Amino acid sequence: MRGLAALALALALATSADASRARISREDAFIGYSERASPSRAADGDEGIALRLRTRAGPIDVGLREEWAPEVVRSIVDAVRVGGACASETVGGCNFYRAEAPPARGSVDAYGGPGPPYALLQGTFEGLGQHEREKTPPLARRGYACLIGKGPDFFIATRDHVEWGTAHIVFGVVSDMEAVDEIADEYARHPETWGMTNVTVLNERVAFTAEIVDL
């Protein structure tokens, strides 16, 4: 593939000495495309419900987009309202653990896309099951919340990512990025290598609680 051929980052979990999370291989972490995707400019209306993630940096409201990912949205709502997922910061499995700055202008990684770094905030959501691919618009906008692979890990894009095409299930949109930007830009982090990918990981995970709210 030539130039900025779209290579979709599925952004795998890291395995460390004191963690039991599974590693997804680099082969699983990228999906190739033969041409750049056309960005979707679908309206991000403010009606409906949101997944509110409460962090020490402030709340992050993810407006849930059932028209893009109905199964994922239903799973999130059931996990929070029925299953009590992320009800307390003392319960593991609801946290952000990776924060990537935007790449420098003109930087290109070994797979032909911009980066590293990769302009995202990545976390895991307890109770969110495994999901097959759903029809979604291209991941082309800052603030899109997307599953990594089939979940339960996810990321929030902190810049537009046309180059990733339609590789990820987009389940929501963050309209107010203040808390996301604070964590991604200001919290201490360190470099690691996952497979063949150079990443930046938060020194301390940022726990969150979750609730479903009306917009």
Higher pLDDT, 107 or 136: 107
- Would you say residue 128 lies in a domain? yes
Residues 210, 82 contacting (CB under 8 angstroms): no
Q: In the numeric block, which tokens belong to residue 110?
A: 């070994």
The residue segments making up the domain with residue 112 are: 7-12+48-214
d(CA 100, CA 157): 9
Whether the pLDDT of residue 47 is over 80: the answer is no
Closest C-alpha among 170, 187, 211, 169 to residue 60: 211
Q: How confident is the model at residue 138 (pLDDT cuts 50, 70, 90)?
A: low
Q: How confident is the model at residue 73 (pLDDT cuts 50, 70, 90)?
A: very high
Lowest mean pLDDT: which of 8-12, 54-58, 198-202? 8-12
Average pLDDT, the chain: 78
pLDDT, average across residues 1-21? 33
Q: Is residue 171 part of a domain?
A: yes
| DSSP per-residue letters across 83-132 | T-TT--TTSSSEEEEEEEPPPPTT---TTSSS-SS--EEEEEETT-----
Q: Which residues pair with 191 in a beta bridge?
A: 200
CATH number at residue 133: 2.40.100.10
- 127 domain residue, yes or no: yes
Task: Decide if 52 is inside a domain.
Answer: yes
Q: Does residue 39 register a pLDDT over 90?
A: no
Token pair recorded at residue 117 = 């770094």
Please give the residue that has the higher pLDDT: either 110 or 55: 55
Beta-carbon count within 10 A of 92 CB: 10
Q: Is residue 71 part of a domain?
A: yes
Whether residue 201 lies inside any domain: the answer is: yes
Query: Cα Rg for the chain, rounded, in angstroms?
Result: 16
Q: Are 184 and 121 in contact (CB under 8 A)?
A: yes
Is position 35 within any domain?
Answer: no
At residue 121 the predicted structure's pLDDT band, cuts being 50, 70 and 90, is very high
Under DSSP, the state recorded for 40 is: P
Q: Is 27 contained in some domain?
A: no
The number of distinct structural domains making up the chain is 1
- Taking 70 as the threshold, does the pLDDT of residue 3 lie above it? no
Whether pLDDT at 18 is above 60: no
Q: Which residues contact 78 (CB under 8 A, 6 or more apart)?
A: none
CA 59 from centre of chain: 16
Listed range (7-16, 94-103, 197-206) with the worst mean pLDDT: 7-16
